[in-house]
Amino acid sequence: MPRRPADLRLFLLTAYGLAWLFALPIWLTGASLASPLIMVSGVAMMFTPALAVLAVRLYGRRRAAPGTTWREWARRTGLTLGERRGRTLALVAMAWFGTPLLAAAAIALSAALGLLSVDLEGLSLFREGLAAVSPGQAPSVDPGTLAVVQIVAAFLIAPLINSVAAFGEEWGWRGWLLPRLMPLGTWRALLVSGVIWGLWHAPLTLRGYNYPELGAWAAPMFVVFCVAYGALLGWLRLYSGSIWPAVVGHGALNASGGLVLLVGDAADPPDLVVAGITGLVGSALLAVVSAALFKWRPVERPAPVAV
């Protein structure tokens, strides 16, 4: 690929610029983290990295760069199932079911370390959340049943649903950006792409998204998580040659990341900075798993993506 930095600048400008544009209503209205506007803007933001990939492709064609055919370019950005489809599909399944298991493991580890109080019998924090949504009204369905439904959905259904929006991010971050940075070396590319991914969330995390108690400090905190989880998603992408395991893994994470609030104790609410999959415990767990995967199954550097 031509080693012009212009393609990288265009990618970042598009992804970051559109993310802030889509989040602008949140800042103009001062919407709270509970506002539906957060969800709408967040989902719209998730497609901006994919739009950045298309912008780079359009830039390359207009510059008449000696690029590749659409089919080859799609392969290099991970849109196919890679050279070994069976392995890729196995990794999709691993990401689908393994990610919620990692979320559960992070909860268990947090509790074992004394960093999280759980209430599996009474589900007091979950009940408190239901009461806040419908004050003065008894839930029409038993909270225990609702909790089971949410857990089952987090493993079986929600990963697929959430993968639609997750594709918008993964095609950009792991499909195009990670291979673009691989000349830095594998670990440097993972670190840089993880930092870029984490900082891209700033329109939301500067308002305390994911870590409400931190306020604007939630932004650097989430970068830590994105570096750790980005390494795992990066391994899925590089080992398979496809973005689809990372897409499903990302979708599964979004589906199961809130399980810590399902089992928490209302008398001692979870400290999300520390506990759960997106806390420091979860980030440490993801970092260990990622390092083990890279050691167990080393990856080859993908071919550079021509613009």
Number of structural domains the chain divides into: 1
Run of H or E including 60: helix 48-62
Residue 138 belongs to domain spanning: 81-296
Instruction: Confirm whether 102 is domain-assigned.
Output: yes
Mean pLDDT to the nearest integer, 72-77: 87
Instruction: Confirm whether 215 is domain-assigned.
Output: yes
Predicted confidence at residue 126, as pLDDT, reads 82
Tokens 């993880």: give the residue. 194
Instruction: Confirm whether 54 is domain-assigned.
Output: no
Neighbours of 114 (CB within 10 A): 7
Among 62-71, 74-83, 187-196, name the one with the lowest average pLDDT. 62-71
Q: Which residues contact 248 (CB under 8 A, 6 or more apart)?
A: 92, 95, 96, 159, 160, 163, 166
- CA proximity to 237, closest of 8, 98, 75: 75
Mean pLDDT to the nearest integer, 216-242: 96
pLDDT at 136 over 80: no
- Distance CA(209)–CA(215), nearest Å, equals 8
- Amino acid at position 242, single letter: S
Instruction: Confirm whether 283 is domain-assigned.
Output: yes
3-state DSSP call for residue 160?
helix
- Mind listing the pLDDT tens digit for each residue in 255-268? 999 999 999 888 89
Instruction: Confirm whether 44 is domain-assigned.
Output: no
Instruction: Confirm whether 61 is domain-assigned.
Output: no
pLDDT at 299 over 50: yes
Where residue 209 falls among pLDDT bands split at 50, 70, 90? Answer: very high
Instruction: Confirm whether 59 is domain-assigned.
Output: no
Instruction: Confirm whether 71 is domain-assigned.
Output: no
Count of helices and strands (H, E) across the chain: 15, 0
Q: What is the DSSP letter of 285?
A: H
- Distance CA(270)–CA(250), nearest Å, equals 23
